[in-house]
Chains A and B, each alone.
Chain A
Amino acid sequence: MINDVIAIIQDYWLLLLIGQYPNGPLGGLANTLILSALSIMLAFPVAILLALARLSKWRLLRWPVTALVYITRGVPLLMLILWSYFLVPLWTGADVPSFVTMLTTLVVYQGAFLSEVVRAGIVALGSGQMDAARALGHSSLGAMRFIILPQALYNMIPSIISTFVSTIKDTTLGYVINVPDLTFAASQVNNQLLTQPFQVFLILAVVYYAICWSLTHVANIVERRITRRRAGLSGGAAPVALVPAKIISEQL
């Protein structure tokens, strides 16, 4: 069993790592990492913008964005992926690469989820911080940037990381529209071997677990470092950061 796994890795490591590249498109683990990183990096600012729009005093901004977030959150991701995959080329006539389709869909979907986390973090701060900022003469955007968001995002680190982790897991769905990622490579390997699906998909599971675990681990270190800095080096009476319950647990 272990020997099978080792043999598979020895024979197919390059395919699992970079797919058909350089004879075909980049795939495998490399593409999974790129897709995950891009999705997270783009979904994060999108989420902040969506959250600010949902908290805006202008209805013209608030209502459409609220509708977008509700609809996106209420629909299975797979359905969104298939819609974008079939409908966008149909409407626009453009030939969109499946990687781009997947990336865009993930950014919108995870951006919507993450925006709820960010919004909850802002609301949980209460009005006192904003009052103080305004009383000192800060503009609302300046207050958001320097006073509200740094606290809200910090308080939400656990929930934000959960969303990042599920973004990584969700990249596997790109398989259905032929995004050449790690899952796609693994299924190619499986098709060639035919007899060892358990071993192949065990490798797949272990790799995804390692990626997600590393991310969580790094996030924990960062969080602990910030907490320690705020508590001072003495480690004495530490300010207890309010960490609201996981709002997005339904997603995991």
Chain B
Amino acid sequence: MSTSAAWTQQLQTIHLSDVCKSYGDYPVLKNIDAEVARGEVVVICGPSGSGKSTLIRTINRLEEINSGSITLDGQNIHAAMRTRELNLLRSRIGFVFQNFNLFPHLSVVENVAMSPIRVKGVAANVAHEKALKLLDRVGLADKARAYPGQLSGGQQQRVAIARALAMEPPVMLFDEPTSALDPEMVGEVLAVMKSLASEGMTMICVTHEMGFARDVADRIWFIDAGQILETAPPDEFFKTPRHPRAQRFLADLRH
């Protein structure tokens, strides 16, 4: 707890500067410059295949970049470093996947408690207690002993959020967290994300939920063909998008 509190107290920001990445000859990210302030909620939107997932995955270095730099509180995430150091860095950046990626062989509470135990060396009983609190927070205290396969998609995604929070990350990344869900379950996941945002969590969310973007985001990044074409506060972005491709994207969404 105390280390996490200390972390969030520091002025922490994410800086992306001139980030380029290509798969072979095909450039996926082109000269991305952007920054996220502490406590800020950024929503990334853009057409499918525009590089949103790739961009967000470079921030915890699930993807390597070809050039440029990404820093978290001044620490270069893509610098050469020992794998131990990289693992530690990754554990401070929460990541929520489109497909949940819960560990199906572990019960819900074990899913949440295992990484603090194995990665941080937290005592098992402490980690379990904490896990139960987090599950309570996402409304799933009664499912602690269940296995992921017994849960609905919305419940699984809430467990995945609790699992990420268990590492006490100062930053949370979401890659289309509601895209794999049936419509009636989208709300319960967004509600958890909203409450996180209201508590001051720094968040970067790739999502097509424009209602969420409007209500919660401080800033929208519109990305197309590997470039951030527009960054703007949501009311500005939705009312008067400047870039023609952003205008077309929003028009398509409304249909």
Contacts and interface: CB of A to CB of B under 8 A. Distances in A.
Q: Do A and B come from one complex?
A: yes
Interface of A: 128-129, 131-132, 134-140, 142, 146-147, 150-151, 154, 229-232, 236-239
A137 B88 contact: yes
Interface of B: 60, 62, 83-84, 87-88, 90-95, 97, 99, 101-105, 114-115, 118-120, 145-150, 163-164, 167
29 contacts: A129-B101, A129-B103, A131-B97, A132-B95, A132-B97, A134-B87, A135-B60, A135-B93, A135-B95, A136-B91, A136-B115, A136-B163, A136-B164, A137-B90, A137-B91, A137-B115, A137-B119, A137-B120, A138-B87, A139-B84, A139-B87, A147-B103, A150-B105, A151-B104, A230-B105, A232-B147, A237-B149, A238-B149, A239-B150
Nearest to B152: A237
Given A134-B90, A150-B105, 15 more contacts: A129-B103, A132-B102, A135-B95, A135-B164, A136-B90, A136-B91, A136-B115, A136-B163, A137-B167, A139-B87, A142-B118, A151-B103, A231-B149, A232-B150, A239-B149
B90 A239 contact: no
B150 A237 contact: yes
Nearest to B95: A135
A139 to B, nearest CB: 6
A129 B164 CA distance: 14
B98 to A, nearest CB: 9
Secondary structure class of chain A's binding surface, majority of residues: helix
Contact of B101 (A128, A231, A237, A239): A128
Contacts, number: 80
Contacts of A132: 95, 97, 101-103
Chain A CB within 10 Å, residue with most, of B60, B99, B104, B146: B104
B64 to A, nearest CB: 12
A104 to B, nearest CB: 33
B55 to A, nearest CB: 15
Contacts of A146: 114, 118
Given A137-B167, A154-B105, A128 B97 contact: yes
Contacts of B119: 136-138, 142
Top 10 closest pairs, chain A to chain B, by CB: A239-B149, A137-B91, A132-B101, A135-B95, A136-B115, A128-B101, A137-B119, A137-B87, A230-B147, A137-B90
A238 B148 CA distance: 10
Given A136-B91, A137-B88, A137-B90, A231 B147 contact: yes
Given A128-B101, A151-B105, A239-B104, A135 B90 contact: yes
Contact of A139 (B83, B102, B105, B149): B83
Nearest to A151: B105
Given A128-B97, A131-B101, A132-B103, A138 B148 contact: no
Contacts of B145: 232
Contacts of A134: 62, 87, 90
B153 to A, nearest CB: 13
A142 B103 CA distance: 14
Contact of B118 (A138, A150, A236): A138
Contacts of B164: 135-136
Contacts of A150: 105
A139 B84 CA distance: 7
Nearest to B116: A136
Nearest to B103: A147
A138 B115 contact: yes
A135 B62 contact: yes
